[in-house]
Chains A and B, each alone.
Chain A
């Protein structure tokens, strides 16, 4: 093809393709979790005692700790983006590292919660409440893992010789990460606090 062609011009909306795609993807994700919340509302209204009993068996203190965990990671993610935009490599590594550690901490606490449930003989089949609990938190945890992969990759890359400087990409990842945080902000009261 002729090198003089300029078909791949600047994005018409002024928003980078990946960022626009991420916003659309997040709209889709909102609908995905809405399906679960709808099912939760409907089943809770028809099985109130089961849901109240189920919620009372959950460990809200651990979940509250996890909420703090995720909010901190969201903050450090935002600071990591800002640091990289300003070209401050070591700050970026510090904040991105904290974000990654918080995510690990989240999963460790989740693991403790799940294994405690299993040791008490509580499984997704125990009741419709626990079916929903394990599905919703399970999908959320998968989203956390899905975010940790690019976080870890960018972090590792920034330690290499060539470094990592594409702050816009980190911003796109940040959008996703804040969304994962936001889903947890809804899951926490709905599953743990209402009973």
Chain B
């Protein structure tokens, strides 16, 4: 690199202590600008994190209601059943209408308000500027707007519970014609439109920041994999989400005016009336429900990668740091992410094998889907290559990262089953799919999110979390997770439908009730295990040990910043001299060599950095 180190006279490490930085921030910004309408990327990341954690509890509660109904149909929900209104429950037991609302809202909340805001909102906001060594996002105000759209969207969707007819109940995929009427569905469409807009604005910002604001000397291929993954995810957000927005707009026109874009001509309901009641829908031309499916999945398949790709980046960084080894095949990892993102745009039809789509078209989607296994396997083998013969530290973030790999492999393998058309015909809309999605989204994304939360907790709040509680939380979650979701594969192959209020109306599903009860017990245990996480995060905020600058002795730039960075992030100039994974470098006596350490002063500067 030619841009190496010219003006480093004032780069004395850590002479500005953080309290100084804080005083400065207090003087210049009011409370509202600092904590509520903040444009600081770290505050926005924390806001995303807090909002998502809240919605995680809400979505988790919905899941437990669903599980209770499947295990003990018709019995009152313990503790909360008697508090719910009669429109939702009868004698404390879930009613059929409420059940479909629960199924819909559980998925909607978890996807749009937990995983996506967590994986991109929280991590991209926190990590990108710190890891590329800059002071803030390229467009801080846009960033603030991007956050505030999320609570507004969340309230819009949740308000559906209080309107006549209840909230959206057509499943999170909201297929018309079922979703083409009712106030609840309109609110759902508006809410998802808003949260999608938030996602686009966020993606814009992450792309512009990564391209424009990298520290001196940092080439694209000097970026940590977290930043690479978030960068490519942002491309998916920016190009995929608007298609969902246009589909939502058209669905809205169908809902309000019954234009017949997605509603077929003269659609009759079971009782012989026209659907939606009274309106001669689509009298001027028949709509196409399958068109909705195409537009919806054109976004929602890339959305699956929006939810998993950032986590792949986070896990790569954590594994390398705690194996004290360079990531295996750095460039291969980057190209694999690119390949996954590209292929993600041409596989959406595999959700629609049973939609009446041409089998020939189905075959092309089948092929492109199976090809995704190749870059995914590259990543898996590279992760294994990274930890192979490494000096592995089993800290909480690393345990969660390793948990991510094992569950993601399971979920990935069951995904290959579904990719194959003839097999999918059999397992489509069964609990096998439910098992798969939870192995990749809970076992994959959420374990990765836990890993990232623990890993960056010291930098986010300046305190160390409690390691014992963290490990306890991980093992409890990991065990209950597998006991909860693994049996779903079996009942799925046995024919248990994916969305069914009372499976036991069918003779052949009656033997599955004990399995469902088994699943429910561990689902409840898993739900309550998350209270340990929340307790740990909140307790450590007050009573945690004060964090050093670089608690993990990692190489990436965020650890050059003060332990609890204020506005502006860094107290020294940042110049990048090397890649992010220089572990066990012959240049240094230590087993790590951070990106910002000057080549001529390796021992001295690393020693100074370790003291702070």
Chain A interfacial positions (CB closer than 8 Å to B): 1-2, 4-9, 11-13, 15, 17-18, 20-21, 24-25, 27-29, 31-36, 38-39, 42-43, 46-47, 50-51, 54, 123-132, 134-135, 139
The answer to whether A124 touches B212, judged by C-beta atoms less than 8 angstroms apart, is: no
- In the assembled complex, how far is the CB of residue B237 from the closest CB belonging to chain A, in whole angstroms? 9
Question: Which residues of the partner chain B approach A13 to less than 8 Å between Cβ atoms?
Answer: 211-212
The answer to whether B204 touches A1, judged by C-beta atoms less than 8 angstroms apart, is: no
Residue on B nearest A50 in the bound complex, by CB: B285
Interface flags for B238-256 (1: CB within 8 Å of A; 0: not) read: 1111111111011001101
Given contacts A36-B250, A123-B257, A128-B260, contact A21 B138 (CB under 8 A): yes
Closest 3 CB pairs of A and B: A127-B284, A131-B259, A35-B246
Partner of A7, one of B212, B253, B294, B573: B573
The answer to whether B204 touches A24, judged by C-beta atoms less than 8 angstroms apart, is: yes
Given contacts A31-B239, A42-B291, contact A5 B572 (CB under 8 A): yes
The answer to whether B285 touches A127, judged by C-beta atoms less than 8 angstroms apart, is: yes
In the complex, which range does the number of interface residues on chain B fall in?
A: 35 or more
Question: Which residues of the partner chain A approach B204 to less than 8 Å between Cβ atoms?
Answer: 21, 24-25, 28
> CB of B215 within 8 A of chain A?
yes
> CB of B498 within 8 A of chain A?
no
- In the assembled complex, how far is the CB of residue B128 from the closest CB belonging to chain A, in whole angstroms? 14
Question: Which residues of the partner chain A approach B213 to less than 8 Å between Cβ atoms?
Answer: 8, 11-12, 17
The answer to whether A27 touches B239, judged by C-beta atoms less than 8 angstroms apart, is: yes
Known: A1-B567, A4-B10. 16 other contacts (CB 8 A): A2-B571, A12-B214, A17-B208, A20-B212, A21-B139, A24-B204, A31-B239, A32-B242, A36-B250, A38-B295, A43-B285, A125-B258, A127-B285, A128-B285, A135-B250, A135-B253
Given contacts A5-B572, A8-B134, A21-B204, contact A124 B257 (CB under 8 A): yes
- In the assembled complex, how far is the CB of residue A176 from the closest CB belonging to chain B, in whole angstroms? 13
A-B contact pairs, 6 of them (CB 8 A): A5-B568, A7-B133, A20-B138, A28-B203, A28-B242, A35-B247
Q: Is the interface of A mostly helix, strand, loop or mixed?
A: helix
- In the assembled complex, how far is the CB of residue B194 from the closest CB belonging to chain A, in whole angstroms? 14
Q: How far is the CA of A8 from the CA of B569 in the complex (A)?
A: 11
Chain B 433-472 interface residues, beta-carbon cutoff 8 Å to A = none
> CB of B142 within 8 A of chain A?
yes
- In the assembled complex, how far is the CB of residue A5 from the closest CB belonging to chain B, in whole angstroms? 6
Question: Which residues of the partner chain A approach B214 to less than 8 Å between Cβ atoms?
Answer: 12
Given contacts A21-B208, A123-B257, A128-B284, contact A35 B573 (CB under 8 A): no
- In the assembled complex, how far is the CB of residue B541 from the closest CB belonging to chain A, in whole angstroms? 24
Given contacts A43-B285, A50-B285, A131-B254, contact A7 B135 (CB under 8 A): yes
- In the assembled complex, how far is the CB of residue B18 from the closest CB belonging to chain A, in whole angstroms? 11
Question: Which residues of the partner chain A approach B285 to less than 8 Å between Cβ atoms?
Answer: 43, 47, 50-51, 127-129
The answer to whether B286 touches A124, judged by C-beta atoms less than 8 angstroms apart, is: no
- In the assembled complex, how far is the CB of residue B414 from the closest CB belonging to chain A, in whole angstroms? 31
- In the assembled complex, how far is the CB of residue B75 from the closest CB belonging to chain A, in whole angstroms? 45
- In the assembled complex, how far is the CB of residue A18 from the closest CB belonging to chain B, in whole angstroms? 7
Most buried by A among B203, B242, B291: B242
Interface flags for B209-244 (1: CB within 8 Å of A; 0: not) read: 001111110000000000000000000001111111
